């Protein structure tokens, strides 16, 4: 994993009181190897290392009190530059609806991503309309309609027998009829880059007049994702990129190459299978994660989306009045799982990112599910007043949840610790204050 290797390299570098040119060259040689192993484009690696070396060898760095930290700061700044510099927002049409054309190869997650994008737009206050133009794969239209139904977002489709270019014009007419402010068009997914299919995409573009042509690429494919982006850009002229599967171990390689090589900004990243596992791309946050420095802002944003404000205020009231019970504990477990997987959360907390490699996170997820099963096997009275759970009750709960009495004891101990922690946080207005904005 790229971030783990870079953390180890810079940890050794930071442990030295003074740095020589030889120290920097050795560290950068290891960084170069780590980047290449992560499938980052060779030209991008060479350019990045050259810029870092030039800045790192300046006297103000070598003679500073913490030269190792200065080098890490330089690497962080150069990574942000390679990733595009700053956040790239969606372009809006002068007169609604704003049309966003989504394209990509089969298997990249294109149709699911189109639905996620529409959900993101609705959460941003817009009224989106999804348009099914992938007539080459019948399942794609059915999939988009099912996703639209699940997310309560309207879908326009004329079926697989219709001419998709004609459908484009009719879809725009429909968007105006329902006062949609944005149109997300899911175009034909390509099995491979083919001249005839690319010409069809160009026809869609001419008919739709999109503000954005967004290419969906699988981040796990590394340099292949870069090659695909170059080809689509040459044929269709893409304006933005959406990287899917950015929650996998190989993430970072494609992101660190694609904008530098193509000149096209990354606009969004997909971070999981859930409909809301979709985020605007922040170069500085990914650079921070890659270097193991965490990403607190993303945690806060996810928490604010996942946690109901009314529930948060009610929870704080219960904590302050010592009324925090196992039903509240269960709700907190569910909210943690809504924010993200355990390994994602560990990686985003400064100082804990190294644990994402050391801790068996699948075991951690299993423990969370086990805790839910145990609490759900309790009666409402037992959840509200855990002190009444004696030996016979523990045996019954263990049978009902498929666990052991030892597991029940462990959970009750964890709950008592959580109670203490929540009281302390309420007194100090700690994490709870983050959710009262």
Residue 219: per-residue pLDDT: 86
- CA 235, distance to chain mean position in Å, is 29
Euclidean distance between CA atoms 387 and 26, whole angstroms: 59
Residue 402, Cβ neighbours under 10 Å: how many? Answer: 11
Residue 366: per-residue pLDDT: 77
Mean pLDDT within 185-196: 83
Euclidean distance between CA atoms 92 and 422, whole angstroms: 44
Residue 222: per-residue pLDDT: 81
Look at residue 297 and tell me whether its pLDDT is greater than 80: no
pLDDT band per the 50, 70, 90 thresholds, residue 371: confident
Residue 277: per-residue pLDDT: 85
Task: Determine which of 70-79, 251-260, 306-315 has the lowest per-residue pLDDT on average.
Answer: 306-315
210 contacts 74 by C-beta, under 8 angstroms: no
Mean pLDDT of the chain, nearest integer: 82
State both tokens at 215: 């290419």
Residue of 69 and 332 predicted with greater confidence? 69
- Which of the given ranges, 23-32, 58-67, 358-367, has the highest pLDDT on average? 23-32
Mean pLDDT within 36-60: 90
Residue 249: per-residue pLDDT: 45
Residue of 411 and 421 predicted with greater confidence? 411
Residue of 111 and 310 predicted with greater confidence? 111
Mean pLDDT within 277-294: 81
Look at residue 191 and tell me whether its pLDDT is greater than 80: no
Residue of 181 and 293 predicted with greater confidence? 181
Is 1.10.260.30 the CATH classification of the domain at 298-435? yes
CATH numeric code, 2-82: 1.20.120.140
411 contacts 386 by C-beta, under 8 angstroms: no
CATH level 2 (architecture), domain 98-293: 3-Layer(aba) Sandwich (3.40)
Look at residue 164 and tell me whether its pLDDT is greater than 60: yes
Domain boundaries, the chain: 2-82, 98-293, 298-435
Q: pLDDT for 314-349, tens place per residue?
A: 656 665 655 677 887 777 667 666 666 655 655 555
Q: pLDDT for 194-216, tens place per residue?
A: 788 888 899 999 999 999 999 99
Instruction: State the burial class of residue 41 (Cβ atoms within 10 Å of its Cβ: 0-12, 13-18, 19+).
Output: buried
pLDDT band per the 50, 70, 90 thresholds, residue 372: confident
Selection from 101, 132, 91, 111 nearest residue 203 by Cα: 101
pLDDT band per the 50, 70, 90 thresholds, residue 46: very high
Residue 252: per-residue pLDDT: 66
- pLDDT-above-90 percentage for the chain: 40
Euclidean distance between CA atoms 289 and 266, whole angstroms: 16
Task: Determine which of 4-8, 30-34, 125-129, 375-379 has the lowest per-residue pLDDT on average.
Answer: 4-8
pLDDT band per the 50, 70, 90 thresholds, residue 143: very high
């Amino acid at each position: 994993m790229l971030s783990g290797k870079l953390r180890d390299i810079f940890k050794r570098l930071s442990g030295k009181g003074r740095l020589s040119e030889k120290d920097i060259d050795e560290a950068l040689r290891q960084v170069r190897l780590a980047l290449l192993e992560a499938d980052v484009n060779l030209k991008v690696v060479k350019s990045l290392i050259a810029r870092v070396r030039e800045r790192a060898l300046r006297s103000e760095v070598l003679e500073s009190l913490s030269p190792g930290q200065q080098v890490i700061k330089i690497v962080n700044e150069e990574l942000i530059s390679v990733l595009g510099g700053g956040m790239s927002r969606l372009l809006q049409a002068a007169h609604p609806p704003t049309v966003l054309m989504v394209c990509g190869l089969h298997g990249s997650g294109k149709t699911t991503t189109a639905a996620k994008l529409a959900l993101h737009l609705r959460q941003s206050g817009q009224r989106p309309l999804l348009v099914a133009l992938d007539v080459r794969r019948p399942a794609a239209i059915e999939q988009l309609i099912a996703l639209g139904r699940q997310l309560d977002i309207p879908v326009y489709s004329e079926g697989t027998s219709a001419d998709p270019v004609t459908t484009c014009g009719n879809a725009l007419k429909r968007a105006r009829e329902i006062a949609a402010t944005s149109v997300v068009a899911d175009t034909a997914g390509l099995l491979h880059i083919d001249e005839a299919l690319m010409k069809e995409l160009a026809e869609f573009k001419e008919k739709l007049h999109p503000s954005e042509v967004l290419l969906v690429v699988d981040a796990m494919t590394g340099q292949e994702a870069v090659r695909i982006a170059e080809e689509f850009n040459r044929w269709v002229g893409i304006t933005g990129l959406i990287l899917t599967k950015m929650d996998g171990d190989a993430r970072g390689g494609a992101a660190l190459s694609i904008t530098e090589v193509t000149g096209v900004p990354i606009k969004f990243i997909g971070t999981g299978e859930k409909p809301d596992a979709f985020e605007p791309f922040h170069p500085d946050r990914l650079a921070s994660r890659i270097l193991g420095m965490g990403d607190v802002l993303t945690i806060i944003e996810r928490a604010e989306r996942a946690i109901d404000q009314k529930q948060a205020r009610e929870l704080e009231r219960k904590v302050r009045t010592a009324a925090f019970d196992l039903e509240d504990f269960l709700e907190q477990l569910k909210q943690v799982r809504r924010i993200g997987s355990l390994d994602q959360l560990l990686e985003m907390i400064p100082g804990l990112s190294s644990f994402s490699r050391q801790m068996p996170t699948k075991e951690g997820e299993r423990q969370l599910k086990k805790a839910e099963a145990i609490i759900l096997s309790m009666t409402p009275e037992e959840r509200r007043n855990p002190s009444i759970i004696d030996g016979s009750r523990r045996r019954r709960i263990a049978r009902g949840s498929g666990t052991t009495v030892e597991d029940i004891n462990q959970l009750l101990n964890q709950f008592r610790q959580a109670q203490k922690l929540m009281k302390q946080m309420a007194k100090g207005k700690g994490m709870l204050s983050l959710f009262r904005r």
